[in-house]
Structure 1
Amino acid sequence: MTLLDHLSEGPASAPPLLLGPSLGTSYALWDAVAPELSAGHRVIRWDLPGHGGSAADLVAPGATVGDLAGLVLELADALGVERFAYAGVSLGGAVGLHLAVHSPERVSSLAVVCSSAHFNGAKPWRERAAQVRAEGLARLADGADERWFTPGFTVPRLVRDHREADPAAYAACCDALAAFDLRGRLGDITAPTLLIAGREDPATPPAHLREIADAVPGATLTEIPGASHLAPAERPEAVLTALRAHLGGDARRGMAVRREVLGDAHVDRAQAGQSPFTARFQDFISRYAWGEIWTDPTLSRRERSMITLTALVAHGHYDELAMHVRAARRNGLTPDEIGAVLLQTAVYCGVPAANSAFAAAQRVLAEEDGTAG
């Protein structure tokens, strides 16, 4: 079976995130965004048929968005990905909408970027398909900057991808856009949904994204100033910020894990002591340490507690050590196991460090359950 060409980034054990491209581009569209997202996700970027490295014969005249969505599911199945977050631009966004409606059990969250539930009717896409079949893509690619970016901005790699795409496959993708209209099914979408609009986008103006946001229960809409149709390439920082806030809610998820491990009393004290000066640092802790590292399923919380205790002893952070002895108890470590970890530190971090660590841990254990280890 021939699969869509794709690029995987990030830990194999991290939550999967599929990224879909716009018509005429390759997965290079996500070059400025995907590496950052891969810190907390298994990012899988894919190419449309006849675009980038994907075979042109994966699609035929009269293709539908459903056909493209089927190819994405075949790719996910081949990679062992059962359920995934999804973000897509333009045609890639339409694929995401189709998946969310027709395969809701596969889509954990959805982000639709510079796209639409319809693309201004069938006529312009049929005309474009006929033009490309008759004369190729050179003339159309000459106008790519005007359709894709604000004046004065370009990404030569993407324009080259447009020029080098297979005309027959490109035309078949135009057929898919011509036949696409999901407005009557938007209310069926149950996945948490984010819409991202480029405020300067002439192809799918913000009104198209607003239409989806109004119809999908609980959806949110972000408009990005200074962005045209390929917002991930033109305004990657803004797109990245919106996606990070949406995908899995790292800060919210991190805060929940932080409370589970450290306890409500500690987190409440930290939050109460937060000031404008420390707010970004508190967000960093919740989003990165607790929302990405502590939620990575590669290691259990018990294992993470043991590693954390050792690191804190090695650096002499005994106040933090006391806090994480309490956390280790919540994560299932017994006093004997905590003692064994600290004994290990005596060998590799030094006896004086372990001596201070045992004293701090003994105080905590005595407070917690009367056990001095």
Structure 2
Amino acid sequence: MSTRQPLSDGTSLHHRAEGPVTAPPLLLGPSLGTSTALWDKVAPELSVTHRVVRWDLPGHGHSPAGLIGPGATVADLAALVLALADSLGLDRFSYAGVSLGGAVGLHLAVHHPERVERLAVICSSAHFNGSKPWEERAALVREEGLAELAKSADSRWFTPGFTVPELVEDHRTADPDAYAACCDALAAFDIRERLPEIGAPTLLVTGREDPATPPAHLREIADAVPGAALVEIPGASHLAPAQCPEAVLTALRAHFDGGAKRGMEVRRQVLGDTHVDRAQARQSEFTARFQDFISRYAWGEIWTDPTLARRERSMITLTALVAHGHYDELAMHVRAARRNGLTPEEIGAVLLQTAVYCGVPAANSAFAVAQRVLAEEDEAAG
């Protein structure tokens, strides 16, 4: 599901939310001079597995210009992002950002680690080549506006011959004062000494042809952040999500879909490769999101919770399936219970318990199913 929010009320960042409201939240931050449109070719795909929230910088897209002023810092922008997350009820979230949006992500990971689940920093830096270039650009924009600067956007953002007209228009129509305040934030930003403090799993993505934040800037972050991974995208310049969306999407999926990956591993361990392979082979475009839901929530969160052992979870699952008469599922979970260490005698004891609390007819059907499955298991073993 995609929802485009109305213009901001003047006190908060404009945002656009996509994906199931129950999915893990993922915030996407923009580059200077762009809007939520930067993520148009990536966000819809990410929203299959996440609640994706894209936001506009102050004075860009539909965000009010007055949210920041001269002398603004990345910390100010990060505070606005946290206020947005609070308004959406997001206590903890994953985050990906490009350039200035990436700097916001680094600040959040260092100063608000309790809020950031996983982090991806794209075509960005822990510092932006010193303050002077940004101070000069801020002064130029405050004096002359953005029309002339926007003419060189393509050369700063993309490789020769490539453009995204919508993003260039975003650059041209941004509020000059807010744009200059964002330049102030870039001028003052330098978080290099704090990088080793980042504890969130971190991915760095760099465009090999990026002149604004060359690969060396991302390597510097990767070398400093414990356990960080680095992906270089050939042929990509500064706005990699717009120029090379497939490559960026592949990298982000691998980084942010850890719950689904872990869930699939547990699903195979409990149900067996044969069953899971059969389910995957039957998967269609119509059922893909449901299968992902099962992998992420049932197997990636519930079955991986260490509070209960898998033996105990099997006992609970058998009881619940008998109670609701789901005998096809019961057969599958009798096999799973054996993989989880339950003996035939223990499975029988569970089903006998259901006769008291779920009814004798239900238990009678359950015993018939279990007897058939256990006989098949014995035959296969023999």
Instruction: Report the number of matched residues.
Output: 340
Partner of residue 191 from structure 1, selected from 173, 187, 200:
200
CA contact 2:123–2:239 (8 Å) conserved in 1: yes
CA contact 2:198–2:225 (8 Å) conserved in 1: yes
CA contact 1:257–1:294 (8 Å) conserved in 2: no
Which structure 1 residue ranges, 5 or more long, are not aligned?
A: 345-354, 369-373
Question: Which string of whole-angstrom CA distances, capped at 9 and with x for unpartnered residues, describes residues 308-339 of structure 1?
Answer: xx9x98xxxx7x87334545898xx96459xx
> Residues 285-300 of structure 1 correspond to what in structure 2 (within 5 A)?
288=292, 290-292=294-296, 294=298
Partner of residue 236 from structure 1, selected from 241, 245, 249:
245
CA–CA distance in 2 between the matches of 1:32 and 1:328?
43
> Residues 329-344 of structure 1 correspond to what in structure 2 (within 5 A)?
335=351, 336=354
Structure 1 residue 359: Cα displacement: 5.8
> Residues 168-247 of structure 1 correspond to what in structure 2 (within 5 A)?
168-247=177-256
Matched, 1:69 2:68: no
Query: Which residue does the alignment assign to 1:125?
Result: 134
CA contact 2:92–2:115 (8 Å) conserved in 1: yes
CA contact 1:32–1:233 (8 Å) conserved in 2: yes
Structure 1 residue 257: Cα displacement: 3.4
Partner of residue 100 from structure 1, selected from 76, 99, 109:
109
Partner of residue 249 from structure 1, selected from 234, 254, 258:
258
Question: Which string of whole-angstrom CA distances, capped at 9 and with x for unpartnered residues, describes residues 153-192 of structure 1?
Answer: 1111111111111000000000000000011111111100
> Normalising to structure 2: TM-score of the pair?
0.77
Identity fraction in percent: 69
CA contact 1:14–1:297 (8 Å) conserved in 2: no
Structure 1 residue 12: Cα displacement: 1.2
Structure 1 residue 132: Cα displacement: 0.4
Query: Which residue does the alignment assign to 2:16?
Result: 7
Query: Which residue does the alignment assign to 1:110?
Result: 119
Query: Which residue does the alignment assign to 2:158?
Result: 149
SS in 1 for 2:220: helix
Question: Which string of whole-angstrom CA distances, capped at 9 and with x for unpartnered residues, describes residues 180-222 of structure 1?
Answer: 0011111111100000000111100100000000000000000
AA partner of residue 63 (structure 1): A
CA contact 2:27–2:96 (8 Å) conserved in 1: yes
CA contact 2:49–2:257 (8 Å) conserved in 1: no
Matched, 1:38 2:82: no
CA contact 1:14–1:296 (8 Å) conserved in 2: no
CA–CA distance in 2 between the matches of 1:270 and 1:184?
50
Structure 1 residue 295: Cα displacement: 5.2
> Residues 267-306 of structure 1 correspond to what in structure 2 (within 5 A)?
267=273, 288=292, 290-292=294-296, 294=298
CA–CA distance in 2 between the matches of 1:149 and 1:15?
31
Change (3 A) 1:185 1:202: same
Which structure 2 residue ranges, 5 or more long, are not aligned?
A: 1-9, 303-312, 341-346, 378-382
Q: Which runs of 4+ in 1 moved over 4 A?
A: 295-298, 327-330, 333-337, 357-362, 365-368
Structure 1 residue 151: Cα displacement: 1.2
Structure 1 residue 3: Cα displacement: 1.1
AA partner of residue 291 (structure 1): S
CA–CA distance in 1 between the matches of 2:270 and 2:44?
29
CA–CA distance in 2 between the matches of 1:160 and 1:290?
42
Change (3 A) 1:292 1:143: same
Change (3 A) 1:160 1:188: same
Query: Which residue does the alignment assign to 2:373?
Result: 364
AA partner of residue 137 (structure 1): L
AA partner of residue 181 (structure 1): D
